[in-house]
Structure 1
Amino acid sequence: MTDTGTGWDLEVHPAKMRRWVIAGAAVVFALHVFVALVLRAGGDTGVHLRLADQIAILVIGVALSGAILLFTRPRLRAGADGVAVRNVVAERLIPWQDVRGLYYDHDAPWARLELPFDEYVPVVAIQSRDGEAAVDALERFRQLEARYAPAGGTPTTDDGSGVGGGD
């Protein structure tokens, strides 16, 4: 969970989801290979499939498998620079002064990073189905939060503006 080579103190990936996603992508790809191989041997059904059709089915299988494999990307990294959350596609770096905590909502499948003004970022990398690994990740994150986050975060007034912000 610690990645000292990149400057991040904590790096978390979902364990069980990654295995299921990789297995699902392999099954989708294998089905497309099977269908591409069997299609031309169809007999007299009136449909004339050629090599281009087989290649197209293989390309579709590769594209679908690649899209499925995007779900192996979720990651949470935390270090002195802040918290980086990457779900399926984009990564977002959040400075420690904006972090209000990492929590599980009631019956939620994954954790959420609380931000100011009742905002949050889902953290797909820490999933409840990972059990003890998720608990360990939460504990490690809270240790890092205690070390790096400013005490109490950035104070705000009732209108949402920062205290002492340019009168």
Structure 2
Amino acid sequence: MNERRDATQPSAGTSEHERATGTELICLRPRRIRLVCWVSAILLVVVFSLIATTLTGPTGSGYGTFQRGDQVAMIGLGIMFALGALLFTRPRVEADVRGVRVRNIIGSYELPWEVVRGVRFDRGAPWAALELYDDDLLPVVALQAADKQLAVDGVRALRRLHQAHLTAVTERAAR
């Protein structure tokens, strides 16, 4: 049975049995950007709603008037911008002994460990990346430098699963 690890504890508490049988499932999501995005989305809807309620032009001033439809459209714009901000809460990475699934802001990838050369988190990089054998780098936006220790723990957990896969491959090859 797979045990799901959330972003709050990506690798803490993993038992030796889970490591030995390969049932560990790691699920990581960024923390800070989600908080910032949700607060921003709420503020966008509130601000655009306040602007919409104050959109009343003087009649006959020559500058035009705002109708009820204009107010509804302004609220709709606030909702659309809020939904756009919430796209940044989408990143996630899930990994187990079979492979890694990466969901970025735009695009999702499911890769077996066989195509992954390593897990990188370069100094100064905003997020981690998977180095593939075809010399591509796949960004893992879910592991962001802004999350500090959470990102470090997540990279270590991914590296541990990748190393477990490499060990299993060399053991199979030695037989």
TM-score between the two structures when normalised by the length of structure 2: 0.78
Give 5+ residue unaligned stretches, structure 2.
6-22, 171-175
Q: Which of 95, 98, 101 is the equivalent residue of 1:78?
A: 95
Q: Which of 1, 26, 43 is the equivalent residue of 2:58?
A: 43
Could you tell me the percent identity over the aligned residues?
A: 32
Q: Which of 70, 75, 83 is the equivalent residue of 1:66?
A: 83
Does the CA contact (< 8 Å) of 2:121 and 2:155 recur in 1? no
Structure 2 residue 19 is matched with structure 1 residue 18:
no
Please give the secondary structure, in 2, of the residue aligned with 1:100.
strand
- 1:1-167 alignment to 2 at 5 Å? 3=4, 9-40=25-56, 42-44=57-59, 45=61, 46-149=63-166, 151=169
- List per-residue Cα deviations over 1:35-73 (Å, max 9, x = no partner): 111102x43552211001011111111111101100000
How many equivalent residue pairs? 148
Please give the secondary structure, in 1, of the residue aligned with 2:4.
coil
Rounded to whole Å, the distance in 1 between the matches of 2:52 and 2:81 is: 15
- List per-residue Cα deviations over 1:129-158 (Å, max 9, x = no partner): 111111111111111112234647xxxxxx
| Structure 1 position 33, deviation (Å) | 0.4
Give 5+ residue unaligned stretches, structure 1.
153-167
TM-score between the two structures when normalised by the length of structure 1: 0.81
Q: Match for 1:67: what amino acid?
A: G
Rounded to whole Å, the distance in 2 between the matches of 1:80 and 1:105 is: 24
Please give the secondary structure, in 2, of the residue aligned with 1:145.
helix
